[in-house]
Amino acid sequence: MNNKIVKLEKIDRGRLLSQKIYKILKSQILEGYLGPGTKLIGEKLAEQMGVSRTPIREALRWLAVEGFVNSIPGHGTFVNNISIKDLKEVLQVRGSLEGLAAKLAIEVIKDEQIKELKKMTEELEYFAKEKDLASFSYASQKFQEFIIDISGNSQLKKIRKIICDQTHRYRIRSLSSPKRLEHSLKEHLDIFEAIRNRDAKKAEELSKLHTEKVFQNILAHTRTKGD
């Protein structure tokens, strides 16, 4: 991870500053520019962004609520490093949500949507063949989000978004492990086949199994790297 605080662009004062700052900092945490343990100094951030410290403090409070940063009285605010226990719990919830989404989607999915989902699996196959981890990760996310959109459950979509943000930092590292890319591809193809066959029970089970495999692989990768 790169723990260097990158220079941030100046922000238009006419915008909702707190929200804009929150999005920028969250993006930099997710992408690894602000790595675990990085101290976020309000005065320095305010200077870099050309704003007062008030919207910085508000943005940091939002990030703290979502678990991305931790404020320690007398020491400052630091980027959190999600623990293995937290990661396991988050992925358990994510698996349940994605399983439910697949089940609900099958009840309403149309032939045109199945064709679109098929195109997404072809993208996954292509990126897996090219060993393009970043593009595969993005395509995987798009695949899951499309299923959730089909399900029509807006609350499920909102909750999953927050949960997936928490695990974003681990996706690429997980896929970089030997054989994980091809295994992940097969898991996605199996989920698609269950949906195409309108087998709700199997689609739900496979979706849960996929997240279990993600956790097992992250755990193995972490132990190997000694993180």
pLDDT of 147: 97
Residue with more model confidence, 178 or 106: 106
Report pLDDT digits (tens) over 146-176: 999 999 999 999 888 877 777 766 666 666 6
Q: Which domains does the chain have, with CATH numbers?
A: 17-79 (1.10.10.10), 84-225 (1.20.120.530)
pLDDT of 188: 97
Report pLDDT digits (tens) over 190-208: 999 999 999 999 999 999 9
Which tokens hold the place of 215? 């956790």
Integer Cα distance of 223 and 217 in angstroms: 10
**Contact of 104 with 98, CB cutoff 8 Å:** no
The yes-or-no verdict on residue 226 having pLDDT over 50 is: no
Closest CA to 86 of 36, 135, 39, 40: 36
Mean pLDDT in residue range 49-74: 89
| Phi, psi (deg, nearest 5) at residue 77 | -110, 130
- pTM of this structure: 0.71
